[in-house]
Chain A
């Protein structure tokens, strides 16, 4: 281990570049698909961040002079039934999708992380009861659970985030718990107890950092799923409401009526959803391969 590290550093020094940059380049060469995924994700983040600067049309204002305009020089992706530019709405929609995707997956998997490790740490009866509660939550399909939450709390972007977060918690908790169970058996956890640390410190400081790999994998997987869920909820009319630009909503507005007469209305938001979810999944897979030493082939 130490030997290989030294050689990597030496080689990097020879080439006169920092070792982390070299490590990144190595990773890109080894995982071109994952790197492509990461690139697309970064591209969407960039679009969402500078949406105002790179678009010329208003994403929400109707314009009845330019309804159903097919893709062309003025409107690259065409316009929808209200005359709004589809490219503009996709770019602003990325903002909604990423906001929901990031918040729901980060909050959901982080809560799951803490709960999963806690469950594994205490074990015994606490673990048993806690896991059965998680089972109850997991017995609902993701979309049904999200639907239930939205019907209780109402629509709106905060509630959509909540609706997607809640079903993520038990899924992450389950996966993290299984890793944490193995960590629990390693002597340093008992060693921490012999040093007189309180439970919360052992859980948060000594165990949580050791289950980062499964956590990060769940996190990236959830991001794709969250974007898909948000689109589904919006499509069903239970998510983000008009006129906020959201991919699922654009799909719903266009799919039924205009599939034949103006196919660009549903096609482009559909492509955006597919691309984003695919990119997140590719990135997540590559990350899993990199972080999981058992899958590493060197």
Chain B
């Protein structure tokens, strides 16, 4: 299947008074048509920035995309002019944000916010747009959609607002939806519902999905392929099953160890990753994870490991990737 999105060696940096922040430091990944890809990592690892870079929404100054390419349906989005990228935003690629409470404009009705973009991108008149808006609200599971269209965001609960955001993301029939921590601000029972809606609709409508999250549970259940990010780089990639059953990077391993598991015998304590994520203005020599890593060898401080294949579609950027096998067995047993 052809790739819908090809990100190649994307580099986004922020030029601040305390130095250059290398937020995204040369990442490459692909998204196929209709596929769900996850970007996983802890806060500040560059997941959101990499997503915003695709739509060129990095605030400039201080941020700037300094290198690489983002090919979407064969076209490099970084080469488009302002007019060109505007026709991609919302129409071809849309986004669902983390904060449903603040991502909708409090002074405009739900209906207006939905119809506005359909009138703009699809050239519908108000009547058609309103009818379609109601259809999409039904589709994302909002009952009594006609009445909801006339309501303001404060009439809706957080989960409902996130459903509205999903309806907004879907209503212009885009090819790709980027969901930036779509469930982080919601409570746990709603999280699953929202993810179900997203997964279900993306499959039904054939929309590809990039889910950005730090929640490994989300990844396990909903993603086809997983990219684990650390300090602005992708350090492991594979299908969801491989990442879980056979992690080949100490960071991924650490992440899996630090999540309570219902399917394993109860341990006394969780086993978190020591230390803090590195300061992105002054990354250490060699591997960025080195200082927190339990498997560090001499080579790690000298040379940056690159993503290398360790099996079908499974890549890891670690010098010890083959020796991690035994350690990983402990998790998956």
Contact = CB atoms under 8 A, between A and B. Distances in A.
Partners in one complex: yes
Interface of A: 1-2, 124, 186-188, 190-198, 205-206, 209-210, 212
Nearest to B117: A195
A194 B95 contact: yes
Interface string B260-272: 0000000000000
Given A194-B94, A198-B86, 15 more contacts: A187-B98, A187-B102, A187-B103, A188-B106, A190-B57, A191-B97, A191-B104, A194-B57, A194-B90, A195-B90, A195-B168, A196-B88, A196-B117, A206-B105, A209-B105
A31 B104 CA distance: 33
A214 to B, nearest CB: 14
A117 to B, nearest CB: 13
A195 B89 contact: yes
A205 B120 CA distance: 14
B102 A196 contact: no
B124 to A, nearest CB: 15
A216 B120 CA distance: 30
Contacts of B165: 191
A136 B280 CA distance: 41
Given A195-B90, A196-B91, A210-B105, A187 B57 contact: no
Classify chain B: how many residues form its interface, as a range: 20 to 34
Nearest 10 A/B pairs, CB to CB: A196-B89, A195-B90, A196-B90, A209-B107, A194-B95, A196-B86, A187-B103, A188-B105, A191-B103, A187-B102
B155 interface: yes
Main secondary structure of the interface of A (DSSP, over half): helix
Contacts of B97: 187, 190-191
B219 interface: no
| Residue of B61, B87, B116, B168 most packed against chain A (CB within 10 A) | B116
B325 interface: no
Interface in B122-180: 154-155, 165, 168
Contacts of A209: 105, 107-108
A21 B61 CA distance: 50
A190 B108 CA distance: 15
Contacts of B91: 196
Interface string B294-306: 0000000000000
Contacts of A210: 105-107
23 contacts: A1-B154, A124-B61, A187-B99, A188-B103, A188-B106, A193-B57, A193-B89, A194-B95, A195-B94, A195-B120, A196-B86, A196-B90, A196-B117, A196-B121, A197-B86, A197-B90, A197-B116, A197-B117, A205-B108, A205-B116, A206-B108, A209-B107, A209-B108
